[in-house]
Structure 1
């Protein structure tokens, strides 16, 4: 029976309690069943969770116009915030955001939409197009930045992207600059304290952990293309002891293309176990001398899988593809391709300990192969150079050691020195405490200290210039300097106790009787 107002009669279940259908309620609440209430509570919980997640992820900001940019250029952002620049937008001024992210919620700057990269043009009026000051957990990607007035004159200390840490003594964390196009910063001028992408620290007691500068293109910049620097970090030699202080950790500089810089291409300073790899540095040091890639004030830097070329200029000036600079220990330069520079590699004779240069290919470096810097100094020690392939083509007058430079405390083993014409050792090539053992020589007399010279054609597969801007991930272009089955280099090497597991191309290196040069011979296996 239906009562008045359409209410159901009160019923009891077998336990004597009121059933769901039978419970009476007030006129206001009776229209909501328990199921509806449960659904409502669930929705509230869901919305609370969504809100909590959104708070954790931060807010989204969009830059679609100059007005948007002007509003956000110095905004204080919160952990998890995302700043999206619309592709195709062009803005002027300096983007100098503030605020810090968190380990699980970095602040990100990205591009969205279709079309050209969003462009920030500082017009030579600001220190940088992008400036991050005293921040943590920031990730910048997808931008195009430029900073010049177009006059061609020196416009001062300008940068494309600058990360500046100053006056705060603490541990800074997680800075990422990825997939940005930095170009036309200042004019083509020298000096090291300006340039494309720089991360700089001016503190009394601070350091940085987790720095990644990857997949960027940097070209036509005054100063240095990519660089790190710290006023409070470094390596100090105290007699036989070495003391390091505030070295940055987890520094990774990789897959960048750096072209036509006023000074050096890439400089790694004040770091512990930094890795600089898969970069191409072309035509660096156009306004002032400087090696293309080098480390300074660092411990355990690995410079590997890079191509450096076109660093040419005045004779005798620093213009090599690579450099093991001073105030460093445990520097490793391996698996690189140097060509058409003034020389392959510099080695500084100020305080410099345990330098290893191995499994590199040098082709047509024009004035020399190795340059020992600071001729009047003699603190460098434990320099081991092995299994490198050096190729000098016709028409080049090249000395292995630059004229008037003395090699110091170095061991050369299992290397190939190939000259299409005649090669020389340089006026001071005999060296000091320098020994050669088991190297191959073509069109150059064995080094005076050589204990087991090999004088024969190396038997390469198809020796030719590998070209420029090659894929350093596959390194297929370098296979021309692999060995034929009848090569005298096969199994002719002496055992190097701390040799790597693979060669320049990734082929395995046997512990005993390795081949000579940078590339191991692999027999063809038929299934």
Structure 2
């Protein structure tokens, strides 16, 4: 039986300190490279570039294969696992054959101890790793690089599909992808090159990815993009071809057929030449808990942007250090770009970006319905909000903007809101704007109402609030988890002066429940706060306290009695009725102690009602890195208490555990 682990007070991967803008970035520590859980019932193969032999059977650690050529010759079957020896390097391209199934994916991972196994393209191949027309594949815990100089565009990990129909089940996680060659020149970029590139070609069979996961990766030092996806199945709303540098013939483009259910989560993308995270031709995409630092190191581009995209949610991300390239250019933290609709940008922290916080560009002929809410912009430059070609239907509310009085030359300041090309139906409500540089506001196509303006001119706003914001310590935030300096103090003009916004998300950027009347800005005051939630459990306590799951910190955790007796319950009581949309579980060592099957119940005042039955929860890792899984209710419910009935869980060490249970 494994040695008992104590999980309390661990510092998780998501809270790693980031270097301040303009300073060198410390590399993230390698994740453990020991054996991962077996992917399924198939065969496990081993690869060792020093002690292996291609004439061996490859099925034991003592009889491993040696080369990528041998691995590429093999056709893998569902449930198979290929393990690369730690502390070893392979040169060339890993391009495997054979697909898995939903219950038995094929997995490429590591074995042994030491540094992640390295696959080095050494600029001899377009992509160091290529998954072509494969489904249900997982890459986990590898290091990938592809460059030793030169001007040819190169890629680290490429996932490609062509004329094959739906492609399910690709997972890329715990990868360190770095060192991609290209043209290191300002203004040059190539969306055909990236640390992680996902692309669809062809025009005979509509092809798209489903349920792809790109999680817990570090992508750095690439002359082009960090993470990008695109597809030739993209035509709609007058957009008939992709970018010229791809050199794709006009005959290859087909009608819009997006990849669906893409999740890009918990990645650290830094020091890349073009965009940091960039999904295109997608629907129902979730981009969350990523850090994008110093994107656009050699070009002008955006930290996180998306195009040809429907129902994109961008939340809990931190973006900083985007390069300023000039007015009217796309060099902001976030960008809802061409043919994007129903975007939701919330709970993000943007700072020190040369081009500003948010831009909308060419959102198509239909209204965009983009919502930008509960975000903080600190010391961003240029035009904080930019509205360009065909912008229509952007709602901006409950954000806090803190503008420096005199930014460095790399971040010149021009306007709070900049209009290009006649946008329509843009609204600003309940935003707190500290405008120390006294920047102007454009007004064409924009309706301002009930914003707090501190410093500088006030745009036409029939309900403008102009008193002192009295924030705790504005301008001092150092990360997304350090935003309490924006809490309004007693006497702030922001307190209690917000107008009601239906469907406002229910919480502020720090997780506090929104009150009625609420406060202007992204952060609520402590004045009149609702009671703190409490938690109880029938599973007993062996480690920590059940109070840890509602203390607002993912760095603390609770562990049940040992052994855990299932089924059991974990209940959160908010002591006052609220509208419940979903519950989010945050857990580290999820494959060892995480819940895997639960019912979600709410209290109606006299009895418990089950809202979700047998909801499955899957965890990707068994490390100190916190993972989060959100369970959405079929419909919003008003309730004061929410209960999880834990029916099944991973019990590697006998007990079960949870870091945080958030009710949204």
The interval holding the TM-score normalised by the smaller chain is 0.7 to 0.9
Q: Which residue of structure 2 aligns with residue 327 of structure 1?
A: 339
**Which of 380, 388, 397 is the equivalent residue of 1:365?**
380
Distance 1:390 1:216, change over 3 A: same
Distance 1:154 1:380, change over 3 A: same
Q: Which residue of structure 2 aligns with residue 216 of structure 1?
A: 217
Q: Which residue of structure 2 aligns with residue 40 of structure 1?
A: none
Q: Which residue of structure 1 aligns with residue 468 of structure 2?
A: 457
SS in 2 for 1:362: strand
Distance 1:270 1:349, change over 3 A: closer
Q: Which residue of structure 1 aligns with residue 371 of structure 2?
A: 356
Distance 1:405 1:482, change over 3 A: farther
Q: Which residue of structure 1 aligns with residue 109 of structure 2?
A: 110
Q: Which residue of structure 2 aligns with residue 173 of structure 1?
A: 168
- The 8 Å contact of residues 483 and 519 in structure 1, kept in 2 or not, is answered as yes
Q: Deviations over 1:328-359 (max 9, x none)?
A: 11011111111111200011144151111111
Task: State the superposition RMSD in angstroms.
Answer: 2.2
**Which of 255, 258, 269 is the equivalent residue of 1:247?**
258
- The 8 Å contact of residues 299 and 323 in structure 2, kept in 1 or not, is answered as no
- Counterparts of 1:466-485 in structure 2 under 5 Å? 466-467=477-478, 470=479, 472=480, 475=481, 477-485=482-490
SS in 2 for 1:71: helix
Q: Does 1:503 align with 2:503?
A: no
SS in 1 for 2:338: coil
Query: How far apart, in 2, do the equivalents of 1:259 and 1:275 lie?
Result: 20
Q: Which residue of structure 2 aligns with residue 10 of structure 1?
A: none
Distance 1:114 1:258, change over 3 A: same
Aligned residues, how many? 450
Q: Which residue of structure 1 aligns with residue 457 of structure 2?
A: 445
SS in 1 for 2:368: strand
Query: How far apart, in 2, do the equivalents of 1:421 and 1:298 lie?
Result: 35
**Which of 33, 38, 44 is the equivalent residue of 1:60?**
44
- The 8 Å contact of residues 340 and 363 in structure 2, kept in 1 or not, is answered as no
Structure 1 residue ranges without an equivalent (≥5): 1-53
Q: Does 1:134 align with 2:147?
A: no
Query: How far apart, in 1, do the equivalents of 2:269 and 2:70 lie?
Result: 32
Q: Deviations over 1:296-337 (max 9, x none)?
A: 111100011111111123221211000111201101111111
Q: After TM superposition, give the deviation of residue 401 of structure 1 in Å.
A: 2.4
Query: How far apart, in 2, do the equivalents of 1:254 and 1:115 lie?
Result: 25
The higher radius of gyration belongs to: 1
Q: Which residue of structure 2 aligns with residue 36 of structure 1?
A: none
Query: How far apart, in 2, do the equivalents of 1:349 and 1:232 lie?
Result: 19
Query: How far apart, in 1, do the equivalents of 2:174 and 2:213 lie?
Result: 11
Query: How far apart, in 1, do the equivalents of 2:512 and 2:199 lie?
Result: 39
Single out whichever of 516-525 and 414-423 deviates more from structure 2.
516-525
Distance 1:229 1:71, change over 3 A: same
Q: After TM superposition, give the deviation of residue 380 of structure 1 in Å.
A: 2.7
Q: Which residue of structure 1 aligns with residue 397 of structure 2?
A: 386
TM-score scaled by structure 2? 0.65
Distance 1:405 1:390, change over 3 A: farther
**Which of 339, 344, 348 is the equivalent residue of 2:357?**
344
Considering Cα pairs closer than 8 Å and 6+ residues apart, tell me whether 1 or 2 has the greater RCO: 2
